Structure 1
């Protein structure tokens, strides 16, 4: 087993990468890692994070490729825009570095396949930051399903309702389909609710150790915001074992509701939400909330332990992202391109922070109606809905919408 602190570089610390920076600085304080370098082309966006890293001894570079071999980097945390995940992971693996990659792993199956091939050639560890997979409540949910507490899983329903303002979409790649000729596909299924899709696939899996293999997806994609991609979606996913997964997501809900999973079995239902709470519901409707469990190792702990050679299983190795990427990319093929929600059916609202955002009135009601019927929006009578086609996923190797090329 490897001795001494793991020498880590960070790629991207101005967005969500700021959370990674502070997490790895915490780990540096305990002696498990040493942050030796970070790549951030726009340090003015998060000067306080840049200062914290610099004060801790890390050296800033404009680009990951500028980090010299003499820095002794052993692993890199990549938290850059989605379209940079593929080239940066290939670069890191070519230099012999282990990689902790922010979700989603990649926007297209062809890019992910190249990344997996590079990982196999390098022999290095690549993990994806699906952080909810490490939460004790979700692990408890998997354990309950494994012992048959609700019987064989028949259906999984995921609901995610948030509100995002204009500042969220002001980032150069947010809500985009392509950037600089590269696919981004930044929508709810690919990015903000990627966790929900990934966890639904895991809990629908026959072994619960990796996501289920999806064989088909039928999706509907919409946007109320002035973007290219989707901010509202629904999808029906069928797994190889015949489990139905229904996903409903939006970033246009002007209210408060926690994203959640509902796992329906032959003998009952298990529910999990983003506060990591688990509730069991019996066949006759009796509800029993389970005690909250103490936190255990998170994805960063798990990744570092694996790189150090400790006998741990990665929560989300790169290979486990295949199912999510197939579903998310397949959803775009099912309903290409995303459809605008008519102006008359959307409205501008103020967020709790006082900023402006586009909202769809009664989107929560429509999601409740559709999910209660196990239906897509077009099947539930939603006035702005447009049915998508069913896309087979078992042979989907390349994302190439009609008329768009690779």
Structure 2
């Protein structure tokens, strides 16, 4: 089947997964909701915050569930980290440092065209890091947004690297560093949370806590020996979506994605204008 409209006409279909090019997410999700289907959409849900708001309104009118495939939230190591943070094990969170360095793409295509992709390396690799950082820190309001990007000239060009600094109202400072043109021996991904009484990093999960004035490794036993957290996260994400569709799982509309996209818009504005933005 090559036409989404043909798929959506099937009465046997209760839910769909949208994993089309970025610029098609919004129209495809709208079509699915109008046809009475529940939707799991790959990130980004839309290219803009206004687009996300339109989809949330459409889902509400249709009485259907729409979820965003933020799979990092479902990772077992992230769930464990969240428990450490909720329990105050690291003290007050003071910062998040995260990044992703990936080799250049050699396939061309829509990801290299701004109107279709929405952006380059930050849209691909930065938004997942941003969402995870905000989710783990309870979406504290931002006070300052600063960004610098490297992007070739031309209206359709996308950035191949971006460095972002965010300041939160509660004092947390976040730094996100992404590259889609990395020249190195291996690709890299990192995520670390800093607290005033400890720190924790992912892939694999390592937790260090201050005890009697000294740092101690309190990482969960076997954290490095489990299956790939990425593979596990996709399975957990799908299981949750199916449970939501069947009415067996708790559902919360992804209104937080409006906040994510407003921050993304401020990030690109800061990079384009070469100045700090105060949301």
Q: Which residue of 2 aligns with 1:310?
A: 248
Quote the Cα distance in structure 1 between the aligned partners of 2:172 and 2:93.
7
State the SS of the aligned residue for 1:191. helix
Q: Which moved more, 1:154-163 or 1:250-259?
A: 250-259
* TM-score normalised by structure 1 residue count: 0.60
Cα-Cα RMSD = 2.4
Tell me, yes or no, if the aligned pair for 2:29 and 2:39 is still in contact at 8 Å: yes
Evaluate the alpha carbon distance shift between residue 94 and residue 83 of structure 1 in structure 2; reply closer, same or farther with a 3 A threshold: same
Name the structure, 1 or 2, with higher relative contact order (CA <8 Å, separation 6+): 2
Q: Distance in 2 between matches of 1:201 and 1:70?
A: 38
Q: 1:200 deviation in Å? A: 1.1
Residue of structure 1 in register with 2:87 after alignment: 147
Instruction: Give ranges in structure 2 of 5+ residues lacking alignment.
Output: none
Alignment of 1:86-101 (within 5 A): 86-101=26-41
Query: Could you tell me whether the CA contact under 8 Å between 1:92 and 1:98 is conserved in 2?
Result: yes
Deviation at 1:301, TM superposition (A): 0.8
- Secondary structure of 1:331's partner? helix
| Separation in 1, partners of 2:127, 2:8 | 34
Q: CA deviation at 1:193?
A: 3.3
Q: Distance in 2 between matches of 1:121 and 1:298?
A: 28
- Which protein has the larger Cα radius of gyration, Structure 1 or Structure 2? 1
- Unmatched tracts of structure 1, length 5 or more: 1-59, 206-210, 338-387, 394-406
Alignment counterpart, residue 21 of structure 2, candidates 51, 74, 81: 81
SS in 2 for 1:233: strand
Partners of 2:8 and 2:196 lie apart in 1 by 57
Q: Structure 1 CA distance, aligned partners of 2:192 and 2:147? A: 19
2: distance between equivalents of 1:113 and 1:313? 17
Query: 2: CA distance between counterparts of 1:123 and 1:241?
Result: 36
Moved >6 Å (runs of 4+):
224-227
Q: Which has the higher helix share?
A: 2
- Deviation, structure 1 residue 68: 5.6
Report the CA distance shift for 1:324/1:280 in structure 2 as closer, same or farther (over 3 A).
same
Q: Deviations over 1:255-283 (max 9, x none)?
A: 3253111111111111113xxx2111234
Does 2:150 correspond to 1:222?
Answer: yes
Matched, 1:322 2:258: yes
Matched length: 266
Q: What is the aligned partner in structure 1 of residue 198 from structure 2?
A: 268
**Deviation (angstroms), 1:212:** 4.0
Q: Deviations over 1:172-203 (max 9, x none)?
A: x2132214xxxx42222222332212111112
1:279 equivalenced with 2:206 (yes/no): yes
Instruction: Look up the match of 1:109.
Output: 49
